[in-house]
Structure 1
Amino acid sequence: MKKHLATLLSAVFHPLLVPSYLAGLVELQQATGGSRLWTVVVFTFLLPTGAAMLLLRLGRIDSLEMPRRQQRAWPLGLAALSFGAGAGWLHWQHAAPALVVGLAGMAVAVLLTFLITLRWKISAHGVGMGGAAGLLLALYLQHRIGPAWVLVAAGLAAAVGWARLALRAHTSAQVWAGLALGVSVALGCSMVLALG
């Protein structure tokens, strides 16, 4: 049962899905009708997932779970490019600065995850959930969302961290480092927006 729950949490809160959840939440809060949500889904989920499937088919990776650190470089590098292209597309489409900077920040977080992964296996799940918690904390501090969202994000980040440990996918240091990286980049992006 414990392993099933850990697997479910890891799948539902996969790092490529978290940006879509965040964009959906922002769209819901701002009642914009989901106009930018599909852009986020394409650049942060569909394109990186398609690239990973292609790498699997070409034999560059053994599985989509990529348990070996050495096999994570290509998928993370391609995901960073896709996230960055998504931020560029949103900028070109004159999307709200918060959305553009948020997606650019996610691209930076994925790029840093890629660079760290060249030497050490940081938790990408931790980066994604830390980024989500950091972004929602920043929105709360700007009085744009209520505190419940921050508490939910923190609880989910803790649950996903537990899941990665329960599945023995990471050490506690790798999970904590991922969470710290995600939170730091998200809060850094919110400072860029506040200063801009």
Structure 2
Amino acid sequence: MHVKPAQVISVLFHPLLVPTYALLLFINLNTHFVLAMPMQVRYLMTLLVFLTTFMLPALILLILRKFDVVKSMEMPERQERALPLIIVSAFFYLTYYLLKQMEQNSIITLFMIGATMLILLCLIINYFTKISLHATSWGGFLGALMGYSLNARVDVMLWLYAIILITGMVATARLILKAHTPAQVYGGFLLGSISQLILFYYV
């Protein structure tokens, strides 16, 4: 893989887009909770998650970039990651809260509270060392789907293969771009996958 494809992969599978991808997957699984969900609710949830976990946080990050609070959208320096992580965690928790108000017993609400917890863990780790947010996010997605599959006895094997492939591509891209060391990428993947696997399996 060359640098240009690695950059494209990093953008297409940006951590802020993971909740939207997760929602689109979960609401298309042939499960009881999905079949009982009105189509209008699915559309509303998709719009809400895309707006509050991607559009608004991305807009604020662009504003921070404009005022040189962060040097780039990639946030290569550990010291400049704290404020964006706090902002994103607030938006993720807001998404969780709004979804709860819709009174949908949704795995998406569980995913959002798990994602919020992951960001806060990354914030704590960030005070000591960098960790790959890309690898953490996609590891979390993979762990959540595995935990849900084991808990609900749902066959999602093809989706698991797809997410494993994407996670591998994303991890490789981050290494090619020299955005992280292998330890930071592998550590992020393990943090995300193990924590979300436990959350979705036992809750």
TM-score per shorter chain, which class?
over 0.9
Residue matched to 1:59 = 68
Superposition RMSD in Å: 1.5
Secondary structure of the residue aligned to 2:73 is: coil
Which consecutive residues of structure 2, in runs of 5 or more, have no partner in the other structure? none
CA distance in 2, matches of 1:82, 1:123: 20
| 1:188 Cα deviation from its structure 2 partner | 2.5
| 1:134 Cα deviation from its structure 2 partner | 0.7
Residue matched to 1:14 = 14
Residue matched to 2:159 = 149
| 1:48 Cα deviation from its structure 2 partner | 1.2
CA distance in 1, matches of 2:11, 2:155: 26
Structure 1 residues 26-70: Cα deviation after superposition (integer angstroms, max 9, x where no partner) = 122236433311121122111211221121122211111111111
TM-score, scaled to structure 2:
0.89
| 1:140 Cα deviation from its structure 2 partner | 2.4
| 1:102 Cα deviation from its structure 2 partner | 1.2
Residue matched to 1:159 = 169
- Equivalenced residue count is 193
Residue matched to 1:86 = 95
Residue matched to 1:28 = 28
Q: Is contact 1:136-1:153 (8 Å) kept?
A: no
CA distance in 2, matches of 1:88, 1:170: 33
CA distance in 1, matches of 2:149, 2:9: 25
1:190 aligned onto 2:200: yes
Letter in 2 for 1:184: I
Secondary structure of the residue aligned to 2:178 is: coil
Structure 1 residues 66-110: Cα deviation after superposition (integer angstroms, max 9, x where no partner) = 111111111111001110111111112212242211110001011
Structure 1 residues 99-129: Cα deviation after superposition (integer angstroms, max 9, x where no partner) = 2111100010111111211221100001111
TM-score, scaled to structure 1:
0.92
| 1:132 Cα deviation from its structure 2 partner | 1.1
Residue matched to 1:139 = 148
Range 126-135 or range 87-96, more displaced: 87-96
Q: Is contact 2:89-2:120 (8 Å) kept?
A: yes
CA distance in 2, matches of 1:143, 1:12: 30
| 1:192 Cα deviation from its structure 2 partner | 4.2
Which consecutive residues of structure 1, in runs of 5 or more, have no partner in the other structure? none
Letter in 2 for 1:191: Y
Secondary structure of the residue aligned to 1:83 is: helix
| Distance 1:84-1:192 versus aligned 2 partners, 3 A rule | farther
